[in-house]
């Protein structure tokens, strides 16, 4: 069965410091992996995705994520956090071998960047 784990409910980081939001996944085949951000009372905004190729994926707003197949992880990173990055972040996976187009979402990690 497919699953996504975001082990931290909340991450606090000081403005200007690097941030990491963790995500691990479990699929039977090869994954497509996604990160989305959600601001209060809004839908999800796409940040980046891994399909194939280079393990380091760069996305919107200075975010990047590294696909690590051996650790089945896809952690989201940013070198220097901004207060405006404070939001709810979701990792999602789709099993390319499953025959379904569904995403499985993690439970979300609330990022709080402190001024």
Residue 36 binding other proteins, by CB under 8 A: yes
Residue 59 binding other proteins, by CB under 8 A: no
Distances in Å between the alpha carbon of 87 and those of 18, 32, 45, 53? 16, 23, 11, 29
20 secondary structure, DSSP code? E
Residue whose C-alpha is closest to residue 80's, from 66, 61, 57: 61
Distances in Å between the alpha carbon of 52 and those of 56, 82, 109? 10, 29, 25
Contacting other proteins within 84-113 (CB under 8 A): 90, 94, 96, 101-103, 105-108
Residue 43 binding other proteins, by CB under 8 A: yes
42, 58, 69, 112: residue in contact with other proteins (rule CB under 8 A):
42
Residue 71 binding other proteins, by CB under 8 A: no
Helix, coil or strand: residue 22: coil
45, 55, 60, 68: residue in contact with other proteins (rule CB under 8 A):
45
- Tokens representing 15 are 């403005």
5, 15, 32, 66: residue in contact with other proteins (rule CB under 8 A):
32
Residues that bind other proteins (CB under 8 A): 32, 34, 36, 41-46, 49, 51, 90, 94, 96, 101-103, 105-108
């Amino acid at each position: 069965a497919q699953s996504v784990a975001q082990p931290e409910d909340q991450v606090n980081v000081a403005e200007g410091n690097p941030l990491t939001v963790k995500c691990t996944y479990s699929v039977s085949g090869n994954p497509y992996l996604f990160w989305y951000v959600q601001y209060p009372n809004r839908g999800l905004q796409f940040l980046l995705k891994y399909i194939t190729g280079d393990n380091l994926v760069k996305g919107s707003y200075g975010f990047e994520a590294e696909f690590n197949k051996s650790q089945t992880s896809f952690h989201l990173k940013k070198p220097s956090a901004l207060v405006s990055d404070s939001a709810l972040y979701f990792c999602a996976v789709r099993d390319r071998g499953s025959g379904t187009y569904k995403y499985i979402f993690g439970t979300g990690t609330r990022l709080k960047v402190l001024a």
